[in-house]
A = this chain, B = another copy of it.
């Protein structure tokens, strides 16, 4: 075993940070490290937290960290930084949180930039979660902002996905948004002390839930929180745990790995795509000098010979 792997297994924060950087840069060293660490993983519970910007997700995450630390659990946090122009990059809040937990060796917080290409986020988040798992973190919180595909990607990685909503933010938008209903294992209505809006939002969620049934039969509970006041945090954790106990974590792990293996294979194949001049081929096709079927077949024959 390499020295770096040994240090990570012992929970050394500096080595952890170094390995995280290697994973983010997708260096060759990262893969061999992850291979080494992999047999020592599988113990952490991975919690995905997602929701619109401004839903108070960072505060909620922060409170969950504190609660888990009170139980003396080791915690790792991945804060996914959207590169979307709408949110303007890294969150100031993450920086502040990192400072606030800086002195606590039981907490490791890492910001991770989204890569923009499909599959990249799930791949990087999986690797990061494995790293934190190997380093002995019992809970890994992955926090992402609900932009585009990111939340769906994270749901593939997490053992349980918490969707954070907030009253009065164009509520229906948040809830109905493509895919959200499918990925939420637990709903949190944060800022629930805001006048009356929480009732309405809960009714909307219940109405949508009544339209369809999950194939695992689970009805995601709806927890109300006021994260800034620390209200509802224990209840949120309880809801998370009730899902984990009930859902058959092992089946979910196999299902998630099945998806991940498929995507890893696809990504590797896509790397081969980098050698193809699609633009030139497309120009041939657009000008009808060749046809897409002949071109695709020729590529395949070359590769799968």
Which A residues are within 8 Å of any B CB, using their own CB? Answer: 31, 34-35, 38-39, 41-42, 85-86, 148-149, 170, 172-173, 176-179, 211-212, 250, 253-258, 260-262, 264-266, 268-270, 272-273, 276, 278-279, 281-283, 285-286, 288, 291-296, 299-300, 303-304
Contact, CB under 8 Å: B42 / A261: no
Task: Report yes or no: B304 in contact with A42, Cβ–Cβ below 8 A.
Answer: no
Given contacts A34-B293, A178-B148, contact A273 B265 (CB under 8 A): yes
Q: Are B288 and A268 neighbours in the complex by a CB distance under 8 Å?
A: no
A299→B268 CA distance, assembly (Å)? 10
In contact, A291 and B211 (Cβ under 8 angstroms) = no
**A172 contact set on B, CB distance < 8 A:** 170, 173
CB distance from A259 to the nearest CB of B (A): 8
**Within the assembled complex, what's the spacing in Å between the Cα atoms of A275 and B261?**
14
**A261-B85 in contact (CB<8A):** no
Contact A278 B296 (CB under 8 A): no
Task: Given A38-B292, A257-B283, A257-B286, output 6 extra A-B contacts at Cβ < 8 Å.
Answer: A177-B177, A254-B283, A258-B281, A262-B273, A269-B269, A303-B303
Contact B288 A261 (CB under 8 A): no
